[in-house]
Amino acid sequence: MGWYEDKLRELGLLKGDTLFIRVGMLLRCPTLYLASDRVDSIMYRGVEIHEIAQTIGRRHGYLPEYEVRLELGEKLVLVGHIDLLHPETNTIVEVKTTRNPEKKVYSEYLLQVSIYKWMLEKLSGEQWYPYILLVHDVSLYNPSLRPDIENALATATKHPVWTIEYTTVNLVAPTTTNPEKLVQEKTSLYYKQFRRNKTLPRIPGKYCEYCPLKDKCREYLKTEKT
C-alpha cells in the first residue's frame, strides 16, 4: 500500500491490521488528518485557552484529554479525545474558542459532542451529559476569563444545566442528535476504501486553508475556480 499505509502507521491510525478512525475524521475532510498529525492544534487558535480550561478542570475533578475507544467491528476502532471528562458526574466538556460575535455553536461542535456521548453510553451503559464551553475572543489577561471558566466547569457538573452566558464564556448544554447512522456510514466507507487500497475521500471545506496539501489538492483547486 506504499506511502499511504506508511503514513497511517506513522500517525498511529493503523496498528497491526487494525484501522483507527479519529472522531475528527467524521467531522471534516479525513485526508486532512493524513496531511498533518498536528491538525487539531493547527486549526484551532485556542491552544492556550484549552490549557487554561484543563488546568482549572483538574481542580474540579475533570480528566483532561480523555481518550475513548470504541470497537465498531473487527479491526476497526473509533477513537476520540475529549477535552474534559468528569468520571463522577458523567460530564463531558468540549472547549471551543469563537470570534463570532453571535457566539454560535456550529453544527460540527454539536455532532462532535453527540459522538462522544454516544460512544461513552455504548461503553458504560450509563447516561452522559455533554457541554460546549464557548470561549469568546478575549485576551488571556482578561480578569473575568479564569473565574468564568471556573464557574462554568463547576456548574456543568450539576445536572441538569441550561445554557449560561458569562462575560467571557458561554456554557452550552446542547440537545444532541443520535449520530449512530452517520458514524456507521462514514466509518464503513473509510474502512472499505482502505481495504481496497484507495485513499480516504477529500472533502473541501473551511479547513482547507489549514491543509498542507491544498496547493496540490484537485478537489480544493476545483472549488477555487468556481
Give the residues across from 71 on adjacent strands: 77
Shortest distance (Å) from residue 6 CB to ligand SF4: 18
Q: For residue 218, what are the CA distances in angstroms to 43, 57, 203, 226?
A: 21, 42, 11, 13
Shortest distance (Å) from residue 212 CB to ligand SF4: 8
Q: For residue 67, what are the CA distances in angstroms to 29, 84, 92, 119?
A: 21, 10, 12, 11
**43, 72, 79, 203: residue in contact with ligand SF4 (rule CB under 6 A):** 203
In sequence order, what are the residues at sequence separation of 6 or more whose Cβ sits closer than 8 angstroms to the Cβ of residue 31? 199, 200, 201, 202, 203, 213, 217
Residue 8 lies near ligand SF4 (rule: CB under 6 A) = no
CB closer to ligand SF4 out of 102 and 215: 215
**109, 131, 190, 207: residue in contact with ligand SF4 (rule CB under 6 A):** 207
Residue 166 lies near ligand SF4 (rule: CB under 6 A) = no
Closest among 7, 54, 226, 34 to 153, alpha carbons compared:
54
Residue 103 lies near ligand SF4 (rule: CB under 6 A) = no
The answer to whether 161 and 131 are in contact (CB under 8 A) is yes
Shortest distance (Å) from residue 32 CB to ligand SF4: 4
Shortest distance (Å) from residue 41 CB to ligand SF4: 16
Please name the amino acid found at residue 183: V
CB closer to ligand SF4 out of 131 and 220: 220
The mark string for 19-48 relative to ligand SF4 (x by CB under 6 A, - otherwise) is ----------x-xx--x-------------
Q: Return the SS3 of 127.
A: coil
Shortest distance (Å) from residue 33 CB to ligand SF4: 9
Q: Is 34 exposed, middle or buried (0-12, 13-18, 19+ CB in 10 A)?
A: buried
**213, 222, 225, 226: residue in contact with ligand SF4 (rule CB under 6 A):** 213
What is d(CA 39, CA 156) in angstroms, rounded to the nearest whole number? 28
Shortest distance (Å) from residue 201 CB to ligand SF4: 8
CB closer to ligand SF4 out of 82 and 217: 217
What is d(CA 172, CA 147) in angstroms, rounded to the nearest whole number? 17
Binding site for ligand SF4 (CB under 6 A): 29, 31-32, 35, 202-204, 207-208, 211, 213-214, 217, 219-220
